[in-house]
Structure 1
Amino acid sequence: MFPTRAYSRDAEAIVALRDDLARWQVASGIVQWKPGEVTADQVRDQIAEQQWWLLRDDGAISATVRVLEDDPTIWDDLVAPGTGDALYVHGLMVRRTHRGRGLGGVMLEWVESRVRDAGRTTLRLDCAAANTSLRAYYVGLGFTELGEREFPPPYKTLARFEKPVG
């Protein structure tokens, strides 16, 4: 099971998945995403930059990940922009009906292989600091928490993580 590149036509489905997960998060009291924060046009632009990767199950998206080569907005206080030592993950999502199948781990392991293939040494990601279950999930997958950073609205306080990849 390997992720495949997203196509422009996938933008609406990616946004729909994100909004479904955001509604579930809000209903569950989880502070992470809100419905409507991301538009299909934004995702189409990111797809054009080859940032989105998908797992499909019978043609439907079961999991996603967005991979960036640099993330100065989130990391510029710890890592000089353009350092080239890491890949950065955003948009890791698993359809609720696929929960418990380990697809989040599959996606992150695949990104780790991309880190190695690119000659980089580190995988970095972040989440809302208030999302304690996601923080524990990342630590359980071998990520080290590097602390929190507060951002002005519409962003939140984020917890940042990294994992050496060898």
Structure 2
Amino acid sequence: MTVDRNNSEVTFRIAAADQTDNVLRVLDEAAGWLGTRGIVQWPLRFEAEWVAEAIARGETWLVCAGDKVAGTITLDWDDPLWADLGGSAGYVHRMAVCRWAAGLGAVMLDWASDAASHRGVDVLRLDCVSSNARLRAYYEARGFMHRGDVAVGGAPGQRHDEGPVTWVSRYELDLS
């Protein structure tokens, strides 16, 4: 898919295994930037194994502005964090934008909504740490409805059965 953003062609390309470093570079930059703002959304450094399965399934995308990597997004079709609500949905994970491409998030969410609609699902879902008030307000301004806060085991950005507990806010966009 190609869209126009500030007269620059924006493309979405499925990330291949040999592009894992590009995905990690974008995620690490975003995590570092969040950290400087006092927001603990993700770990400061991502491990390759944390993204490897989604890349292997073809669910992780690199977003390019012109010929330069500007962001990454994972769009998949199942998330146990939402098991209590059911329904058919697309799930946005690890959406990050390079600082030089700030503002590209809206294009990425529109792309994810279109991709999920074309797949025939009812809603698009995502989550963020509950303490990230700015991101929560951004999602709400984009039409996402808050669907409750839940505790997740593991450090921020991870999902484990043990370790510290992180509270995340779940958001849902109706696609019908």
What TM-score do the two structures reach when normalised by structure 2? Answer: 0.83
Structure 2 counterpart of 1:161, from 149, 171, 174: 171
> How far has the Cα of 1:90 moved from its partner?
0.5
Matching of residues 21-32 of structure 1 within 5 Å:
21-32=30-41
The residue type paired with residue 45 of structure 1 is E
Partner of 1:50: 58
CA deviations over 1:7-38 (Å, ceiling 9, x no partner): 112111111211111111111111211212x3
> How far has the Cα of 1:58 moved from its partner?
4.2
Answer yes or no: is 1:5 the counterpart of 2:20.
Answer: no
Matching of residues 1-166 of structure 1 within 5 Å:
1=3, 2-36=11-45, 38-72=46-80, 74-79=81-86, 83=87, 85-100=88-103, 103-155=104-156, 156-166=166-176
Alpha carbons of structure 1 residues 149 and 48: separation in structure 2 relative to 1, 3 Å: same
State how far apart, in whole Å, the 2-side matches of 1:93 and 1:130 are: 18
- SS of 1:150 mapped into structure 2: strand
Q: How many residues align?
A: 158
- SS of 1:13 mapped into structure 2: helix
Preserved CA contact (<8 Å) 1:13 1:61: yes
Q: Percent identity?
A: 33
Q: Give structure 1 stretches of 5+ with no counterpart.
A: none
> How far has the Cα of 1:143 moved from its partner?
0.3
- SS of 2:109 mapped into structure 1: helix
| Aligned-CA RMSD value | 1.5
Q: Which protein is richer in strand relative to its size?
A: 2
Preserved CA contact (<8 Å) 1:11 1:41: no
